[in-house]
């Protein structure tokens, strides 16, 4: 499908049919998510890909028993960093050096710019910033899923502390921010399957200056 056709086709599916999505399509969605933009390129989050059915059953109550968690094929939890310190920045500088084949010393100015940015943020502000980066990645996941004709339902409605405990995120220095279920729509039982997509019209949405 062409991009706009794919975006017209997608919607937040309420009922999924339990069919497993092809591994290659999941890999494409994950890779597209990896390529999402992020402030400084820092990518201050991990994506937790939950395919295991038993783990998804454990997660379902934390998602207020939404059926897509178990009737879908995959739950992806976007888990942002709890803190952004000199350690994380130094590790990122080393990644740049390794992947671009440059000396890490040549990145001192860039490293200082990132560090300076976070010195002016409170821990809470840094956490909110990391959460926003995770949302950018979610957007790429949604578009990639639509392009692959995989249904996707973004989810903010969950108990983050419970999700963090089930997935062991605290020990990883992470907290759940937003989630996404992937699968195939149950066309016979989803009341939204034939509903017209409603968004604000362009003339109302777009303000040109």
Query: Averaged over 46-65, what is the pLDDT?
Result: 98
CATH of the domain at 35: 3.40.109.10
Give residue 101's pLDDT: 97
Nearest-angstrom CA–CA distance, 94 and 110: 12
Give residue 202's pLDDT: 96
Give residue 67's pLDDT: 97
Does 132 have pLDDT greater than 80? yes
DSSP for residue 121: S
Number of domains in the chain: 1
Do 6 and 175 meet the contact criterion of CB atoms below 8 Å apart?
no
Give residue 12's pLDDT: 96
pLDDT band at 201 (very low <50, low <70, confident <90, very high): very high
- Token readout for 1 is 């499908």
Residue 174: helix, strand or coil by DSSP? strand
Give residue 72's pLDDT: 97
DSSP string, 21-68: PPHHHHHHHHHHHHTS--GGG---EEEEEE--HHHHHHHGGGGTT-TH
Nearest-angstrom CA–CA distance, 47 and 79: 6
The 3-state secondary structure of 58-87 reads HHHHHHCCCCHHHHCCEEEEEEEECCCCHH
Q: At what angle do helices 23-34 and 123-147 cross, to 10 degrees?
A: 140
Torsion of CA 160, 161, 166, 171, to 10 degrees: 110
**What's the pLDDT tens digit per position in 94-116?**
999 999 999 999 999 999 999 99
The boundaries of the domain holding residue 153 are: 3-205
Query: Averaged over 79-95, what is the pLDDT?
Result: 97
Does 1 have pLDDT greater than 80? no
Query: Averaged over 52-76, what is the pLDDT?
Result: 98
């Amino acid at each position: 499908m062409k991009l706009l056709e794919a975006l017209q086709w997608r919607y937040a599916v309420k009922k999924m049919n339990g069919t497993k999505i092809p591994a290659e399509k999941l890999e494409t969605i994950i890779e597209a998510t990896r390529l999402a933009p992020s402030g400084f390129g820092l990518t201050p989050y991990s994506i937790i890909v939950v395919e295991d059915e038993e783990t998804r059953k454990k997660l379902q109550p934390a998602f207020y028993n939404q059926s897509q968690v178990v009737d879908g094929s995959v739950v992806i939890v976007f888990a942002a960093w709890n803190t952004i310190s000199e350690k994380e920045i130094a590790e990122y500088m080393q990644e740049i050096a390794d992947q671009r084949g440059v000396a890490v010393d040549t990145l001192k100015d860039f490293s200082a710019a990132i560090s300076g940015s976070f010195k002016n943020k409170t821990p809470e502000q840094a956490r909110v910033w990391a959460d926003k980066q995770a949302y950018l990645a979610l957007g790429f996941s949604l578009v990639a899923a639509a392009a692959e004709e995989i249904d996707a339902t973004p989810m903010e409605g969950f108990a983050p502390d419970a999700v963090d405990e089930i997935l062991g995120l605290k020990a990883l220095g992470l907290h759940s921010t937003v989630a996404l279920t992937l699968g195939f729509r149950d066309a016979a039982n989803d009341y939204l399957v034939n509903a017209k997509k409603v968004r604000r019209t362009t003339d109302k949405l777009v303000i040109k200056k």
